[in-house]
Structure 1
Amino acid sequence: MEGTRAPGSSALPMKLRFFASILAAVVFPASGATALDLVRDGSPAAVIATADDAPPVVAYAAQELAWHIEKATGARLPVVSESQLHKTSPAVCIHLGDTAAAHAAGIESRLLPPETFVLRSTPAALIIAGGDGLGEPLGTGTPGGTLFGVYEFLERELGVIWAWPGELGTYVPKKPDLAVRDEVDLTLAPPFLQRHVRGGLSFKGKFAELGFTPAAAEAYAREQAVFLRRHRMGKRERISYGHVFPKWWEQYGAEHPEWFQLHNGKRGPAKPGASYSMCVSNPGLHQKLVALWLEQRAKNPPEPGAASYLNACENGVLGLCECDDCLAWDGPRPDDYDDFYAAKSKMKGSRFVTDRYVKYWLAVQAEARRTDPGVVVIAYNYYNYFHAPTPGLKLNANFLIGSYPSGGGFPRSPEKNAWYRRQWLGWRDTGARLFSRGNQCLDGYTMPHIYAHEFSEEFRFMAENGMVATDYDALTGQWAAHGPNIYALMRLHVTPAARTDAILDRYYSVFGPAAALVKEYFTYWENYTRDNRARLEGVFEEINVSRSRNWPVAAHRVHPPECFAPAEAILARAAQAAAGDPEAAARVEFLRAGLSHSRLCARISELLTTADPRSTLARGRTALDELIAFRRAHEREWIANFNHCAWEESTSWVLTDAPRKQ
């Protein structure tokens, strides 16, 4: 798309949020209705108009609309400001954003909640107007109601599918004519107050040659940001959170050691630089958190009518405090607490501390409510306070709790899935609002590790049971290897009620005449992933490394050479089926490149794994050079985020001649 693309509240009724597809069927009349011609016989029949003072996100929406229509029809609709319309006198106009035409149609877009949009037709116009912000168009903190309305229009009327970043991953059906059915009247907002999938762009390995070149990394980041916005990533409330306390020991430890964990008879970290938890029962800690929140609130007050969020997220470590007050806040250890953690997991045998954290959050909220009764406390349930609290212990709707399981990657046994769902329901029953803060998307490395159905079922379960926001960590960018997983993740943020097979069939359709064979290909890998669950779990438990950080240590054991041949044969047949369709053929080659990449990485994992004392750089040097050459040749195709690959590989492979610790 380079050279043709422009630079770059939550209490809606449940029907709007979860049954948008049903609503749309009602408000878009049958095809027999009269039409507004936008393109006729490959020539423009309409213009796109924005307000003279349109914010950047609306200007960007106009360029996105014009580009996709041109890709479909070959005709580029002019984009003009509303004051210039008299010079063109178009028969049909698409008005974007807060225009005079929108006002005349009764749409006051500046009064719409952030990200909400209206699609409405008149006899000679289509109006797309939404709640917009003033920030960067691709910034997920910039409300983009009009932009989201454009994407809704492109999906509904043009059949656009964004399967992966870049032009090859953008499917736009070709048509010489484009007309909009009239009497359109649709008001929608994204289904969650925040939709966030972390981009995975900060991960970089120590060995730069394994990653992108700097120019390719910059281009990849841009294409991924465009892709994420097209899937409506953003937020309509100013939510900010994260681990609060990493620097507190240096700042406050000397004066207030009582705020920090008492563990093995010592306050604070066990050794300099070590992680630590807090003494969450301490009233002084609660008061300090609230004081800091008030300082920040004074500098950056919430917008009128918006909630003020107080971040109370603990550090990324087990709750370890053993002081009498914290222990007194703990409840009885649940019988199933240890049932689904690996034997070597730090969770196995840990103390159940959920109840103390619930009481800590309540105490912080009570302190903050002295100033703002509407304050919303945001926190993670994590590690040994992930398990649901003791029944009867209640929070309220002014808590936003991020469900943050330790582990929990797919595939899982039915019993383990049921256990995770019980924890979600237990938290829901406290009365808190919930968001998904899982790390499952970090799993799989470059291997074809497919779990789209299992993930989708869990996402829908959470959406149907109190999930109001998401924050997934993170995109590893394995677009060719994990395509169905990532597309399901994206699409469920737009249509959370959609069935998994309908979502995946939509993804497979971009492969044209090869769609059925691509489905067969990914079904092979999804079956392989499910059927080899015991192998996967056993290997990683044996070597005791993180699946989200150190997959390359064991990729060759989870995906041995013999597993690739059946998949290669399916893709060879897919290439034959797509031979007469250049665009579909290119997409099949995209998958074939991804599979070659997977196989190369598995081979090098066998030669250079840090789990084998025989590994030396010399042993894998030839294969490593082949991988680096492959990545240079394919780095502009976006088959994978090579920087993320390099980050995992840097701690999983023997990449220097330096002596190794035994």
Structure 2
Amino acid sequence: MRLLGILLMAGLLLAATGVQADQVTLVDKGQPTAAIVIAQEPTRAAQLAAAELQWHIEQITGITMPVVKDNRVVRGTQILVGESAATVALGLHSADFKPQEYLVRVRPDVIVLMGRDKDDRQPFDYANHTTWPGWYDEQATTYAAYDFLEKLCDVRWYLPTELGICLPRRPNLAVSEIEIRRVPAMTTRDTWRGGNFPADLCGDSVTGGHPIPPLEPREMKLWWHRLRVVGGEARSANHSLYHYYELYWEPSTNPRLAQLFRGKKPEWFAQGYEGKPPQMCYTNQELIQQVIQEARDYFDRGGYPPEIRQLCNAPQGAKWGENYFAVVPMDNSSYCKCPQCQALLDAQADKQQFSSGHWSDYMFTFVNEIARGIAETHPDKQISAIAYASYAWPPRHVKVEPNVAVSMCLHTRNVYGLSLQDNDHALLDAWFQESPTRPKGVYMYFCFPALNARQQGFRCFPGFFAHSLVKEMQRYHQAGVTAITYEPSYLANGQRSALMDQLEMLIAAKMADDPTMDGNAYIDEFFTRYYGRAA
């Protein structure tokens, strides 16, 4: 009965992917009958895709398939990776593809794996991850290669390193004729990268006397590429104003950075507190004009200037995104006590949950001021805001400007907190009703309870939630969410866990890419293939 079920599932998979019965042989009895073809000056994305394709075929068959330039004569099937003279002859140009779009085409004499790539043709070294495409670089040719390996060569990546790779071992390799041309459903599929996995992939949430070294950066980066959480649209949002303390409150304690101090502006900071204020005064017009100018400079210069990025708690990385500028307050609810700010408190908003709308009118009034200023000079750009804590719900008395993208911070892992989940679902629906077309994202907290365990020095049971996450991802798609970021579970020594969120990371990345995927069937396959007879 189980065999019958497997055969039926396989038949459904073949029908769904359009795979035909005709087979194209790539390796026959341990001998290659095909070659990988790249341009004479290939993009870095095409070179990474070709290297990954070659490596995986070698793991499956034991043979090293040749990689040749497109000015060479190839006997047998050509596997065209990335744009080249050969793809141009077929009428296929990388620039004609949409952002993140890719093509997998298998025909008897030629296989095409290509997509929209950044025109970066600098030297590439498979052994040196610093020569690979950047995190947000266009690299859809790699998507084509990974889709080909997954769908047609039966490869799976369940963890970083070879420990997590499942693939067949056989002397022959043939693939079915097929054509797939598509764009990932969510334009941003991202993860919080503040800390590597431990080298043993286990680590500990309790700090001990023998810290486990981090996983090699190359293995980390391979994992993210194979998961396809790289190459998406850069669209980040996080607490964005902490650097104002060192610019306008008091000089940095670092003598070199202290030179960046621009002069004390106490009126820009939250009123009514002793010592260092916990927030800004978000109704102060001088502050508003300063943030508007900073946003304009950011867009004009392609990101923050280097000196700003050196400051403590400065914005993460060079940019929030080419088309986005984050406007997010400090991470607390101790807001300004001046009459103008207090007047915007929505005292009637429900405060029963962590995520409420108590300060939504106040915060989105400030966000709107910046958005209107940017719309005057940069009408094609967006302000990134987050819906979080006491400003999580849409404001009740303020209409959010159309050039504001909102990322909702949701407790995706807390499946046992039913009232918390109900509130998150209502919040998600409220933002959809507020504007079905507004760019919306979800920042998913995978990090609890591990963060509590790390902070308090105990070891926690991780709380698996894969089946629940399948439903949540479906819900996010229905609500028009086009961007996700997940914050992985914490470990000691600044590391993140590879195991506490292992299956959930896979589900999030794959369902963000393809909402038609049967997430529950994938979970069943994971346990069967990853654990084998132990499942």
Per the normalisation by structure 2, the TM-score is 0.79
Per-residue Cα deviation, 1:585-613 (whole angstroms, up to 9, x for no partner)? xxxxxxxxxxxxxxxxxxxxxxxxxxxxx
* Contact 1:314/1:380 (8 A) holds in 2: no
Pick one of 155, 158, 173 that aligns with 1:178: 173
For 2:187 and 2:170, locate their aligned partners in 1 and report how far apart those are by CA, in whole Å: 36
- Residue 335 of structure 2 corresponds to 320
Q: How has the CA–CA distance of structure 1 residues 105 and 301 changed in structure 2, closer, same or farther, with 3 Å as cutoff?
A: farther
Q: How has the CA–CA distance of structure 1 residues 51 and 425 changed in structure 2, closer, same or farther, with 3 Å as cutoff?
A: same
Pick one of 8, 18, 21 that aligns with 1:28: 18
Pick one of 5, 16, 30 that aligns with 1:42: 30
For 2:448 and 2:484, locate their aligned partners in 1 and report how far apart those are by CA, in whole Å: 15
- Unaligned runs of 5+ residues in structure 1 are 1-21, 342-346, 519-662
For 2:412 and 2:47, locate their aligned partners in 1 and report how far apart those are by CA, in whole Å: 42
- Residue 419 of structure 2 corresponds to 415
For 2:516 and 2:361, locate their aligned partners in 1 and report how far apart those are by CA, in whole Å: 33
Per-residue Cα deviation, 1:223-256 (whole angstroms, up to 9, x for no partner)? 2221111111124434354322112133124543
Letter in 2 for 1:510: R
* Contact 1:231/1:494 (8 A) holds in 2: no
* Contact 1:195/1:493 (8 A) holds in 2: yes
Q: Is the aligned partner of 1:59 residue 2:47?
A: yes
Q: Is the aligned partner of 1:455 residue 2:474?
A: no
Pick one of 467, 488, 491 that aligns with 1:474: 488
Shift of 1:160: 1.0
For 1:227 and 1:82, locate their aligned partners in 2 and report how far apart those are by CA, in whole Å: 29
For 2:284 and 2:43, locate their aligned partners in 1 and report how far apart those are by CA, in whole Å: 47
- Residue 300 of structure 2 corresponds to 298
For 1:180 and 1:218, locate their aligned partners in 2 and report how far apart those are by CA, in whole Å: 34
Q: Is the aligned partner of 1:258 residue 2:267?
A: yes
* Contact 2:45/2:142 (8 A) holds in 1: yes
* Contact 1:396/1:430 (8 A) holds in 2: no
Q: Is the aligned partner of 1:162 residue 2:162?
A: no
Letter in 2 for 1:228: W
* Contact 1:326/1:356 (8 A) holds in 2: yes
Per-residue Cα deviation, 1:492-533 (whole angstroms, up to 9, x for no partner)? 23333434321211211224642xx53xxxxxxxxxxxxxxx
- Residue 569 of structure 1 corresponds to none
Per-residue Cα deviation, 1:95-123 (whole angstroms, up to 9, x for no partner)? 01111121122211123233211122444
Q: How does 1:518-557 map to 2 (within 5 A)?
A: 518=535
The structure with the larger Rg is 1
Q: Which one has the bigger helix percentage?
A: 1
Shift of 1:25: 4.7
Backbone CA RMSD of aligned residues: 3.0
- Residue 557 of structure 1 corresponds to none
Q: How has the CA–CA distance of structure 1 residues 259 and 497 changed in structure 2, closer, same or farther, with 3 Å as cutoff?
A: farther
- Residue 403 of structure 1 corresponds to 408
Q: How has the CA–CA distance of structure 1 residues 23 and 175 changed in structure 2, closer, same or farther, with 3 Å as cutoff?
A: closer
For 1:202 and 1:483, locate their aligned partners in 2 and report how far apart those are by CA, in whole Å: 14
Shift of 1:291: 0.8
- Residue 428 of structure 1 corresponds to 432
Letter in 2 for 1:470: I
Shift of 1:138: 5.7
- Residue 493 of structure 1 corresponds to 512
- Residue 235 of structure 2 corresponds to 239
3-state SS of paired residue (1:370): helix
Letter in 1 for 2:349: P
- Unaligned runs of 5+ residues in structure 2 are 1-11, 123-130, 199-204, 250-262, 305-320, 454-458, 491-495
Letter in 2 for 1:395: V
* Contact 1:198/1:475 (8 A) holds in 2: no
For 2:184 and 2:248, locate their aligned partners in 1 and report how far apart those are by CA, in whole Å: 41
Q: Give the fraction of aligned pairs with identical amino acids, expressed as a percent.
A: 22
- Residue 117 of structure 1 corresponds to 102
For 1:104 and 1:132, locate their aligned partners in 2 and report how far apart those are by CA, in whole Å: 18
For 1:177 and 1:371, locate their aligned partners in 2 and report how far apart those are by CA, in whole Å: 60
Pick one of 281, 284, 307 that aligns with 1:282: 284
Q: Is the aligned partner of 1:91 residue 2:87?
A: no
Per the normalisation by structure 1, the TM-score is 0.65
Q: How does 1:300-449 map to 2 (within 5 A)?
A: 300=302, 308-318=323-333, 320-335=335-350, 337-338=351-352, 340-341=353-354, 352-390=358-396, 393-395=398-400, 397-405=402-410, 409-431=413-435, 432-444=438-450, 447-449=461-463
For 2:197 and 2:65, locate their aligned partners in 1 and report how far apart those are by CA, in whole Å: 40
Q: Is the aligned partner of 1:80 residue 2:75?
A: no
Shift of 1:487: 3.0
* Contact 1:138/1:229 (8 A) holds in 2: no
3-state SS of paired residue (2:486): coil
Letter in 2 for 1:454: S
Pick one of 226, 240, 261 that aligns with 1:230: 226
Per-residue Cα deviation, 1:424-452 (whole angstroms, up to 9, x for no partner)? 11122222321112333353466342122
Per-residue Cα deviation, 1:341-367 (whole angstroms, up to 9, x for no partner)? 5xxxxx8xx981011112222221111
Deviates more, 1:134-143 or 1:71-80: 134-143
* Contact 2:29/2:171 (8 A) holds in 1: yes
Letter in 2 for 1:401: V
